[in-house]
Structures are given as structure tokens and as C-alpha cells.
Structure 1
Amino acid sequence: MATKKIEHIITKYLTNQATTLEVEELTKWIEDDNNKVLFHDYLRLNYAMDYRMRKFNTGKTQAMLNKEMAKEKQVIKLKSIRKKISYAVAAVLIGIITTTYFFRDSLFNSDVSGTPVITKTSSIEPGTYKAILTLEDGIQVTLNKGESFQIPNASSNGEKLIYNTEEKTPKKRAYHYLTVPRGGQFNIKLSDGTQVWLNSESQLKYPVAFTGGQGRQVDLVYGEAYFDVSPSSDNGGSRFKVLHNAHEVDVIGTEFNIKAYKDDTSVYTTLVEGKVAVNYKNKKQNLKPNQQSSFNLKTIDFQIKEVDVYNEVSWKDGFFSFERKSLKEIMAILCKWYDVEVIFNDKSLEDVKFFGVLDKTQKMDDILETIKKFKIIKSYEIKDRIIILK
């Protein structure tokens, strides 16, 4: 068993508070063969370690990591958000997450004994690939995972909608809508090669084909979307723009995330790679990678801050990453993915903060069990699609 001191250092390390000497002590502890199992368990407990893994990427430690990682059957390919992160390490660490855990500052001093008090009437499955495609004439087509669909200018395999590259430029620009309901997600590849990941409860309006001379422009009507934009050099120099109400993001071949849900008072733009210019009512700001802008739609207040981009965009790769998020904020995100509503019987629970990673393929029941195990809540009830936390 790890000593209390090591446990404390690990907690500080995962929250970016460890000193250089503490990191060195942790490194030495990890390199001890007797701690292989413990270290493997800590890797499972929190994916946040991946960003700083290169500090342990030396000799014996790396060999130990490779051996442990080779045991895992599931490997999910993940494109690294930060170029300084090892692509291979990031991908394999994602593969070793098999259980969901939440942490708060007092984790290692918490008493997690006791029998959970739980009342359930149903099991809540995670979301899946599904969307509604609205064609130019108003006809709606339901797209579901495992079901194929095809029209003259596009096709879908049930997870992704792909538009053909038009050889002839149409005289009139036609638009389609892709709507992802609660409990859903979907991918789309536009006719210019731009790829878009749509999160739950989102809607995108876009041209079936981008006509020459009119530029490339789409509308995020509401919700959240991650864009990997085809560069202007591949599209006759035409820049790409994303609109949301009066909010505009002017793009030059890049990757970024926009969050603009109906119940949000602000629009958040997070830049992963490249360059974007964010415009809102004559206010314009350029973003650098790892920066996030927020526009308050009511006060027209504009702010830019540095963020951990993985926490903002991990949803598209099958995970929710939280860093000191309140239980209320976490539940608001989970409600969209699991298509549920949450009621806090004890309002004080709303402000308890956590950090950790959730695998989106897990059942909601498993997440609630974990929260209960760490004595964050006393009990919970599931009635139809309503969760009551006590």
C-alpha cells in the first residue's frame, strides 16, 4: 500500500500542484518494481496523468508502462490535443480506462465504507449515434447507428454523414440541417472536406455544396460542435466561417470547438490548432491555441483565458474530462448525453467539486454507484428518466 505521503503527492500531481522535488520523489516511487500494481491502479483511476506522462518517460518506467499497457485488449485511437503529448501514450492510456472514478481533495482520507442506499426502477443506458437530417424540401430522415442511408449527394453509415465533392458548381445554394437530439451524437463531412462532430442537443445548418464566390459558411444553430476545417488553400482561398446568432468565428484551416447551448448565457470558442478570429457585435479578438473566448449574450462581455483544451473537447473522443467541476455542472453535461433530468434533494451537493474522467460508454447507474461509493451522496433514486440525488 502506498504511504500517505505518496498518496498526497499523487493528489497534488493530478491537480498540477506538485513541486519539482515531489515529482522526482513520485518518479522514484513509480520506478520501484514493488509499486507496479499500485501505479497501474492509479493510471486506471485518472486519465489526467497522460498530459504529464513524459516526466516518467525514462528507461525502466517506460518499459514498465509498455508492459502494463500491452495487457489491455482495447486501444482507442486518439488524436492528441497538444503537440507536446506523445500520440502513442495518449492513445494507450485512453485504452486502459475501464472504470469511472471521481475525486475530490479529501479522496485519500475519505471513508468509503458502508452499504449504498439505492432505489432504482430502471437502468439508464448511455447515448449513441443518432440524428435527424432535414433536406431542402423539408423532408426529415432519421439516421440511426447501424442503418445506412443514401441520397444523390450524400450517404451515411449510421455514425457519419458524408457529402460528395461537387464537380460542377450549383447555381443555387441549397441547405440541409443536421439535428442531434439529447442522448445522441453524430459526425458529418461537408462537401469541402471539413469534418464536424456534433454533440448531444445540437443543430447545424450547412450548404449541400459550397458555391463558388459565396465563401464557406455554416450556422451552429445551437449546441456544441468540434470543427476540423479543410484549409482555404484547398478551396480556392475561401475562408471558413461559423455563425451563431451575431457571433462569428472566422477560420483559417484549423481545429476548434464551439459551445452555444440554448440554456447557456455565453458562447464559448476553444482553439485547438491554427488561427481563428472571433467576432461579436463589432468586437473582434484573435485566439491562440489553448485559448478560449467567451461572449456573454446578455451583457456583451468578452473574455479570453487559457484552458486545458482536452477538458473542453474530450467529448468527441468518447470521454468527459472534468477538472474541479461542480456536481451541478457535471450533471448538466450528463443530462444531455444520457437524456435524463436530475433533481438535487440536498442543494449543498450542487457545489461539491471534482476532477476525473468519465467513459461515455458507461451506464448512468455505474456513475451514480461511484459517486455513492465515495460518500458524495447518501442515496439516489431513478424514476423513469429522472434521477433524484439525496
Structure 2
Amino acid sequence: MNINIEKLIVKFLAKEADLEELKQLEVWISNPENEALFFEFIKTNAFIKMTMSNYDKKRAKANIIRRIKQEKSIFYNKHKGNNIFKYAAAAMIIGVLAATYIFRNDLFEEPIETPSVVVEEPIEMGTDKAILTLEDGSFIELDEDAVFATKNLNSNGKQIVYDTESKSAEKIEYNYLTIPRGGQYAVKLSDGTQVWLNSESQLKYPVSFEAGKPRQVELIYGEAYFDVSPSAKHEGSKFKVFNKSQEIEVLGTEFNVTAYKDETIIYTTLVEGRVVINTSTSKQTLKPNEQSSLNTANNSIDIAKVDVKVVTAWVNGKFIFKGKSLKDITKVLSRWYDVDFEFENKSLEEAKFIGELGKRQNLEKILQLIKNTNYINAYEIKGKKVILK
């Protein structure tokens, strides 16, 4: 690839190519000998750190030529006499490089203005908030602006921290931490175990663990990431996590559990250490980077290798989707933004996407990224409902 073509592609990506340069790019990419060079350049310079192994080259080539022609047509119709071609270069690349659509937050600095987007009022992003239910049934609303403390715990607005447990708890008292849709929160248990809770989740746990006995908590529903204090620090006391249909036995480790009420599959993903998954019919040991999938309908369980960074991205303030369907993506978004999604065209549900996005941004920006793939024609926000068209 000569230096002039490289500069042209860079200008294309930077939204700075004029009409003549677009024509040159169209002629150049139409040559089959240049196809491999083009995709290698894009992979190296535009989508580094992204998964590109499954893209369809023939489809990509045809699509990019089609899109360039479309944009040239728009240029003639909307920019007569104007030498600068203002178009969404990132959206073009996204729509043409793969059968799986790709979006990345830092490629979309300026949303496209379009009349096909209807927004009644902006949707607020999720925040640090939770409801703490005490042993006596009373509850305290926690949020990022509130500091709260009792004799055995304190909260800084993001996390509850319990006092270090005494040698023996005279009476086991339980607290519940409930995370609503549009929320997240963390808790440091009395044994030092750290738990991060995702939106629409609930954890039951003792205020203080009983010395010499297994440390037990229950993820009633939702998603949680556990960084467990080792048994060696607690006289060999094991740590167990219960949730519907399974028991997780832990020996000092980090793992993620996803067990939402509206899903029949429970996912347990091991980051490091060792856990044993016990069900009524089986016992499975997970190794790091493995995930168990328990089907609660028939009690079957499967083990598979996974990318733990993708599974646990939510803890680090990110959404990472790797070949996820739009239906699954909207489930994640609905919990964080506290909205409901409706598909006007049911076939849209199965569209596959790859992408990495920050959680701390408006929902409209994410919807615009998805729309820029040209798979959906429009979206409409009505109160707490998002309609994809």
C-alpha cells in the first residue's frame, strides 16, 4: 500500500475526505488485489484490540462500495458546491467490515443528526444506589450522595463496610442489600470479603459470621462479583454462595455469578482460585477462565472457556459485547438505565454485535452508536420505553 492510499484511508476515517478522494478510494478498493491490504490496514489502525476474526470479506467489500456510492449521492444532493464531505466515517466502517456489527465508544465523538430519532426526554444513566434492609425489617435508602453509619457498618455512598467480625457471633443477624434497576453498589462483609452487586440484584448475608462454621451468603437474584477472603484467615472456614438451584463452595478466590430472575440460565465464571458447583444432580469444579452454565429448567450444567474480562467488565464501569445479540444487549441496557425495550421488527433481536462502551454516558449516545450500524432504521424514547425500528 502506498503512502497516498494510507493517507486517504486515514482521512476517510477522520471524516476529512472530499468527493474526489472518495472516488479514488472507491476505484482503489474495487481492485481485488487491494482488498487484503485494505482490511489489514483497518484492522491494524482503526480497530486495534477488537475481535476481527469472523468478518466476511466479500460482504465487507460489497458493502463498502455500496456505502461510498450512497454517501457520494448524499454529497451531490445535500452539498452542491461544497468541497468538504461531512459524513459519519466511523458508521460506514462499522456497517461494512463484518457480518457481526462493531461499535466502539471512542470512534463516535459526534453523533449523527437525524430526524429518525424521537426522544421525549433524556434517560438518566445508572448510579450508585441500593436499599439496605436490616434484621428488624427496617430499611435505609443508600445513594452516592449519602453517608450512613451504625454501630457495626458505614457507607460512603458507593460501598457498605461492616466492622471486622468478633470471635463468635452470639446471634446471627441477616441484612439484605437490594440493588434496583439503574443502580449498583458494593459491600465489604465482616470477614473482609468484597462483593460488587450489579443492577437488579439482591444479596442476603450475616452481619457477622459465626466462628468455626462455614461463611454463607445467598445471591437471591441478579449478578454479583465476589473477591473472597481466604479460608486460611478464618480457621479454615469455607465460604459458600447459595442461589437458586446451586451452591458454590469457595476457597479464597474471585468469581462472578449471574442469576437474574427473568433468565433460566445461571452463569458462574471463575477469575482466579477454585470453586466447586454443587447441584442436586452433579458436582463440578471450575478452573480459572471457565464458566458453568446451569439450566434451571432441566438442571443440566455445561462448562466452557470464556474471556473473563468480557464477563466482569461491568465491575470496571464498561459494557463489553462479544458476538451478543441485540436482544441480549438490550437486557443489559434495560437494567442499567431502568428502561424497557420494544422491537418493532422482531428480526432485529438476533442481530449480532461486538463493542466496548463506557457505562457512564447517556443512553441516547449508545442508541446512536447502534443506529449508526444501519441495522436499525430509527429509535424512539417514550418515557421509560425505547422502541427500536
TM (norm. structure 2) is: 0.75
Structure 1 residue 8 and structure 2 residue 39: aligned? yes
Distance 1:302 1:366, change over 3 A: same
Equivalence for 1:185 = 184
Deviations 1:30-71 (A, max 9, x none): xxxxxxxxx3x545xx6669xxxxxxxxxxxxxxxxxxxxxx
Give the secondary structure class of the aligned counterpart of 2:312: helix
The within-5 A match list for 1:59-70 is none
* Aligned 1:52-201 pairs, distance under 5 A: 105-106=98-99, 115=114, 117-201=116-200
Partner of 1:285: 284
**Contact in 2 for aligned 1:217/1:240 (Cα 8 Å):** yes
Alignment of 1:216-295 (within 5 A): 216-295=215-294
Please tell me whether the aligned partners of residues 102 and 371 of structure 1 are also in contact (alpha carbons under 8 angstroms): no
Q: Deviations over 1:78-135 (max 9, x none)?
A: xxxxxxxxxxxxxxxxxxxxx9x97771569xxx999451111011121010000000
Task: Tell me: CA distance 1:342–1:166, structure 2 relative to 1, closer, same or farther (3 Å).
Answer: same
Question: Counterpart in 2 of 1:332?
Answer: 331
CA change 1:10–1:290 in 2 (3 A) is farther
Which is worse superposed, 366-375 or 152-161? 366-375
In structure 1, C-alpha distance between the alignment counterparts of 2:170 and 2:323, rounded to whole Å? 51
Q: 1:374 Cα deviation (Å)?
A: 2.0
How has the CA–CA distance of structure 1 residues 388 and 312 changed in structure 2, closer, same or farther, with 3 Å as cutoff?
Answer: same
Once residues 304 and 130 of structure 1 are traced to their aligned partners in structure 2, the CA distance between those partners, rounded to angstroms, is: 33
Counterpart CA distance in 1 for 2:241 and 2:251 is 12
Rounded to whole Å, the distance in 2 between the matches of 1:196 and 1:7 is: 46
Structure 1 residue 212, shift from structure 2 partner: 1.1
Which amino acid in structure 2 is aligned with residue 9 of structure 1?
Answer: E
Contact persistence 2:167–2:211 (CA under 8 A): no
Matches within 5 A, 1:42-61: 42-43=47-48
Aligned partner of residue 316 in structure 1, secondary structure: helix
- Aligned residue identity for 2:211: G
Query: Is 1:348 matched with 2:347?
Result: yes
Q: Secondary structure at the match of 2:202?
A: strand
CA distance in 2, matches of 1:172, 1:383: 50
Q: Which residue of 2 is the match for residue 95 of structure 1?
A: none
Q: Specify whether residues 114 and 385 from structure 1 end up closer, same or farther in structure 2 by C-alpha distance, changes over 3 A only.
A: closer
Q: Deviations over 1:247-301 (max 9, x none)?
A: 1000000000000000110111000000000001041000011100011111111
Structure 1: gaps (5+ residues): 14-25, 27-38, 50-98
Which ranges of structure 2 fall in alignment gaps of 5 or more residues?
1-8, 11-33, 53-90, 103-110
Amino acid at match of 2:343: F
Supply the AA of the counterpart residue of 1:299.
N
Supply the AA of the counterpart residue of 1:151.
T
- Tell me if structure 1 keeps the 8 A contact 2:125–2:360: yes
Partner of 1:89: none
Distance 2:150 2:38 in 1: 57
Whichever residue aligns with residue 319 of structure 2, its letter is F
Please tell me the residue identity of whatever aligns with 1:218.
V
- The structural deviation recorded for 1:138 is 0.4
CA distance in 2, matches of 1:163, 1:113: 48
Q: Which amino acid is the alignment partner of residue 300 of structure 1? A: N
User: Which amino acid in structure 2 is aligned with residue 219 of structure 1?
Assistant: E
What is the aligned length? 309
- In the TM superposition, residue 171 of structure 1 has moved relative to its aligned partner by 1.2
Q: 1:314 to 1:102 in 2, by over 3 A?
A: farther
1:102 and 1:354 in contact (8 A); partners too: no
Matching residue's letter, 2:339: V
Q: CA deviation at 1:325?
A: 0.5
Kindly state the Cα deviation for residue 172 of structure 1 after the two structures are TM-superposed. 1.2
Mapped to 2, the partners of 1:131 and 1:162 lie a distance apart of 14
Greater gyration radius: 2
When residues 6 and 291 of structure 1 are mapped into structure 2, their CA distance, relative to the original with a 3 A threshold, is farther
**What residue in structure 1 maps to residue 85 of structure 2?**
none
Query: What is the rounded CA distance, in whole Å, between the counterparts of 1:4 and 1:147 in structure 2?
Result: 57
Give the whole-Å Cα distance in 1 for the aligned partners of 2:177 and 2:148: 14
TM-superposed deviation, 1:166: 2.4
